[in-house]
Amino acid sequence: MDVRLLGICKNSKTVALSELLVKSTATGNLFLSTETEALPNGKVVGRGEVASCNWTREILVKSDLKICVLSGLYFRRDYVNESGEFVLLRDCLDGKAKNSVIFPKPSFLAEAVPRIFGKVHTFKWISDASKKCHVFFGKTGRIGFGGKRFAVFAVSRGSGFSLKGYVVFAVKQRGAWVTDERILMTRKQR
C-alpha cells in the first residue's frame, strides 16, 4: 500500500486511508468521522477541539480560550487576566464592578441553594449584552465580622437561572480580596 494514501487520526492515532478521514475546519487536523462533531454553523471539528466561551457563548478553538482559575469555566483569552481570572468575576470580588444592579428577587440565591447562600439577603448582578450570561455577586454577613464577598456565574434557562462552575468566596487580607473558598455548583446543590 502507498503510504501517501494514509493519514493519522489526531485523537485516536489510528492510521486510516486519507479518504476515510475528515479534516477539521477549525484546525486542519484529520479525524475519523466517528471522532468529529458538527457545529451549529455546519462546520465539522474534531471532538474536544472546541469549547464555548461562557461569557460570549462563541464556539472557539480551545487554544483561544482559557479556563478561569476562580470559576473553572472557559473564557476567551482576552477576558482572562495574567493571574488566570475572568476579569469581570475578579472585579465583582474586588468591589470594582461597573454597571451592576441589585437583583430583583433578593432571596433568590438563599432559596435556590440555602446551604451555600442562606446568609445572603441581597446581591447584585451584571449581564452580558444578550442578557443570557450573568455574574451574581455580593456579601455574606458583615465584612470584618466573618462576612465574605462571593461571586458565581449564572446562565438564563427559560424563566430561571442555572449556576455554573464554582461559587467563589473571598476575604480581605492586607487590603486585597483573596479567594478563601470555592464550592462547585453540582446538580445536587442547585
pLDDT, one tens digit per residue, over 2-13 is 888 899 999 999
pLDDT digits (tens, 9 = 90+) for 122-179: 899 999 999 999 999 999 876 666 678 999 999 999 888 999 999 999 988 888 889 9
Does some domain include residue 56? no
Mean of pLDDT values over 102-127: 92
Does some domain include residue 107? yes
Whether residues 25 and 113 share a domain: the answer is no
Whether residues 160 and 107 share a domain: the answer is yes
Does some domain include residue 36? yes
Whether residues 96 and 153 share a domain: the answer is yes
Domain that holds residue 29: 1-48
Please tell me the distance from the alpha carbon of residue 122 to that of residue 63, in angstroms, as a whole number. Answer: 38
pLDDT digits (tens, 9 = 90+) for 65-79: 999 999 999 999 999
